[in-house]
Amino acid sequence: MGQRDATDVLAISFSANDYVGHAQGPDSPEVREMSIQTDVVFGKLFHFLDSTVGMGNVLVVMTGDHGVAPLPEVEVQRKMPGGRMPPGTVQKTVQAALTEKYGEGKWLLTASENPLYFNLDLIRQKNLDRAQVERVAADAARAIPHVFRVYTRELLASGVAMEDQVGRRVMNGFYGPRSADVYVLLEPYWLSQAGGTTHSTTFSYDAHVPVIFMGPGIRPGRFYQQIAVNDIAPTLATYLDVETPSGSVGRCLAEIFSE
């Protein structure tokens, strides 16, 4: 790579950090140590690149694919909101509500807690209205303490849920052919798992990630305005003077260019 008269793109994912983070939480000594060791690996990589193609010929872009919630136990110590909902609470509550309303049956297909996937065969067999089943499930989920919001497929498909950033982000994650029938969002810093931590909510602690550009033509500095990870692709395309990818959204981060 880097030996021809063309630009090469090398993408590397440092995935091990995610496993340690899930198990120990972002405030743990393990994650701190992992970050220090990742920095050492970066150093080796950059040193190697410098000795082969020269860092003057390399543009580095770093980001994260998500943030994470602190361990709820750490939040409690800080006297901040957060806690654990016993795993299965949402599933059991919704299953019970649908059984009470429509009769016995395995109403939910997956074990996932936040996106709920209905047994569509059962809904067809019983000749029920899918949107009405969604509303019954959503009402049951909304009544659970520490449930923040519940979105039905019907709402998301019609674009009704876009009233604020949380709704907009849930909406952005909605894809008709594959998405869940009901999406349940717990209150900030609440997890429906017995140990460790996770991400995948729309809240800032999950969605806020660094974006770092380093290399020739990049103006040194910190930039505090809100941007999106989606801005990386059009910025790289502009930097390389090539066409912006047809499916890309976002803007070119022109403020980081030094010339």
Contacting positions for Zn ion (CB under 5 A)? 18
Q: Which is nearer to Zn ion, 18 or 139 (CB)?
A: 18
Considering the complex, what minimum distance in angstroms separates the CB of residue 17 from Zn ion? 9
Q: Which is nearer to Zn ion, 52 or 63 (CB)?
A: 63
Q: How many CA atoms lie within 13 A of 122 on its CB side?
A: 15
Structure tokens at 187: 């209150």
Q: Which is nearer to Zn ion, 114 or 238 (CB)?
A: 114
Considering the complex, what minimum distance in angstroms separates the CB of residue 215 from Zn ion? 28
Q: Which is nearer to Zn ion, 68 or 155 (CB)?
A: 68
Distances (CA, A) of 101 to 97, 141, 249: 6, 14, 43
Query: Which of 150, 153, 114 lies closest to 133, judged by CA?
Result: 153
Considering the complex, what minimum distance in angstroms separates the CB of residue 66 from Zn ion? 6
Query: Which of 105, 27, 56, 48 lies closest to 218, judged by CA?
Result: 56
Alpha-carbon dihedral of residues 161, 162, 164, 168, nearest 10 degrees? 100
- Looking at residue 137, its amino acid is A
Q: Which is nearer to Zn ion, 23 or 131 (CB)?
A: 23
219 SS3 class: coil
Q: Which residue is nearest to Zn ion (CB)?
A: 18
Contact between 184 and 33 (Cβ < 8 Å):
no
Considering the complex, what minimum distance in angstroms separates the CB of residue 75 from Zn ion? 18
Considering the complex, what minimum distance in angstroms separates the CB of residue 18 from Zn ion? 4
Q: How many CA atoms lie within 13 A of 124 on its CB side?
A: 3
Q: Which is nearer to Zn ion, 18 or 154 (CB)?
A: 18
Considering the complex, what minimum distance in angstroms separates the CB of residue 62 from Zn ion? 17
Q: How many CA atoms lie within 13 A of 192 on its CB side?
A: 22
